[in-house]
Amino acid sequence: MASYKKHSSGWEYRLKYKDPLTKKNREKSERGFRTKPEAALAVAEFLRNLKAGVGLSENESLANYLNVWLNEYKRGTVRKNTLLSHENNIKNHILPYFQNLLLNELNPELYQIFLNHLSRSMSKRTVEIIHTTMTNAMKKALILRKIQYNPCIGAEIKGEQKQQEIKFIDSSNIPLFLQNSRKYGYIYWIFFKVLIETGMRKGEAAALKWNDIDLKNKTIKIDETLDFAAKDNSELFGDPKTFRSARTIRISESLINNLKYHANWQNQNKLNLTDIYRHDLNLVLCREDGNFMPKSSLFNAFERICKRSNLSKLPIHSLRHTCAVLLLEAGVDMKYVQEQLGHGSIQITSDVYSHISKKIEERNIERFEEYTKNILNPSLEIGGHIGGS
């Protein structure tokens, strides 16, 4: 039952009702209405929403809802990397800004101010990723009838999308890099050579098992990634970065020979170490005892090898880009590069790699000149005088 009272600032209503979820008696009040009928309409609207299930969480904090969303709706339904991205966005950016805000207090204006705040110190792409987390969370809140509209819809993200800087090892420097890798340590040489030849991510390469490699048909099946930060063996292997990342790729005869030699080298380690060897993992690219390669060891080795090769500081991920550039320089089409690297679409591949190598541009113009030299510059002896009748 609602009661009404007139104040200098307008009409107020007070409503006692039973919460359908908790079955507890509660009270709601709101003031500032111009007339009593307007206040009565607001009561009727609230009761309609209450009956429909909207507004049952009017006192729920944004923090509590996002925690429920992560654990009840995302965990176990999305890939591990996606869940980690959502968790990081919420923990490091969303909650520190909104703090104790209630879920139903978040409106489009507040949300736009939040995005503008992020844009002052972050790239547009980073803000887009955070925006994706909030949009998905609010979409579910709308479905659950916790809110009446999604405050993220229609928001604008400031800034320009910067061209991603692609770092890779120039083909002229690869021989020296591999020579120095071999001198530094065999297990690093084979690891980095596989990355250059296949374009795999380091986690995909580290998760490779011998049953993933078909030496006869010259293929590698990629359907797992290794979590270098796993707390135990049960968490060591996970799904690839995206659904398109799961793929089967073809490899060269040269790499096949490298892997055959590597299998023999590894078998000798198994014989020497017997029970000490991690036979259970069955890893291809691993330490001498069969255990997985620590990320810190890979990073340190790569940095030192680059330094010895007089290369500028590069991330290990640059070896994936190096593979893509080699493929393109060899004349391979974008579709093949997309499938080899496991990109979600050919547009991603084209946007990232279309103009990163001067050699590709030089080769393209040389091909054009060779093809058109007798078309655009015909001999004067053919067909008589130019312009003659």
Q: Which of 126, 143, 160 corresponds to the end of one domain? A: 143
Where in the sequence is the domain holding 72, given as residue range(s)? Answer: 62-143
How confident is the model over 74-84, as a mean pLDDT?
A: 85
For residue 197, the domain's CATH number is: 1.10.443.10
Has residue 149 been placed in a domain?
Answer: no
Residue range 326-339, pLDDT digits in tens = 888 888 888 888 88
User: For residue 56, is pLDDT > 60?
Assistant: no
Residue 340 has pLDDT above 60, yes or no: yes
166: which DSSP letter?
A: P
Residues 225 and 264 in one domain: yes
Roughly what angle, to the nearest 10 degrees, separates helices 295-308 and 174-184?
120
Sorting pLDDT into bands at 50, 70 and 90, what band is 161? low
Mean pLDDT of 353-370: 69
Checking if the pLDDT of 76 tops 50, the result is yes
CATH number of residue 118's parent domain: 1.10.150.130
Average pLDDT, integer, range 194-199: 96
Domain count within the chain: 3
Q: Within this chain, do residues 11 and 88 fall inside the same structural domain, yes or no? A: no
Task: Look at residue 32 and tell me whether its pLDDT is greater than 80.
Answer: yes
**Domain for residue 161, yes or no?**
no
Is 155 among the domain residues?
Answer: no
**126 and 223, same domain (yes or no):** no
- The residues pairing with 248 across neighbouring beta strands, listed in sequence order, are 221
184 and 107 together in one domain: no
Q: Are 86 and 116 members of one domain?
A: yes
- Whether 202 shows a pLDDT value over 50: the answer reads yes
154 located within any domain: no
Q: Are residues 183 and 282 in the same domain?
A: yes
- The H or E element containing residue 220 is strand 219-222
Q: Is 389 inside a domain boundary? A: no
pLDDT for 359: 64
Predicted local confidence at residue 386, as pLDDT: 47
CA distances from 286 to 169, 188, 200, 307 (A): 24, 9, 15, 23
- Comparison of pLDDT for 17 and 208, the residue scoring more: 208
The structure's pTM equals: 0.66
Inside any domain, residue 374? no
pLDDT at residue 243, as a whole number: 67
The pLDDT tens digits of the residues spanning 227-282 come to 888 878 778 888 777 666 889 999 999 999 999 999 999 999 999 999 999 999 99
Cα of first residue to Cα of last residue in the chain, in angstroms, is 101
**30 and 92, same structural domain?**
no
Do 191 and 103 reside in the same domain of the chain?
no
Question: What is the percent of the chain with per-residue pLDDT over 90, rounded to a whole number?
Answer: 56
Distances (CA, A) of 161 to 89, 114, 124: 20, 19, 6
Asked if residue 148 belongs to a domain, the reply is no
Average pLDDT over residues 184-207: 96
Looking at residue 343, its pLDDT comes to: 85
CA angle 91–94–97, rounded 5-degree value: 110
Assess if residue 299 is contained within a domain.
yes
Same domain (yes/no): 340, 233: yes
14 and 133 belong to one structural domain: no
Say yes or no: 223 and 289 in one domain. Answer: yes
Q: Bridge partners of 15?
A: 2, 28
If asked whether residues 136 and 264 sit together in one domain, one would say no
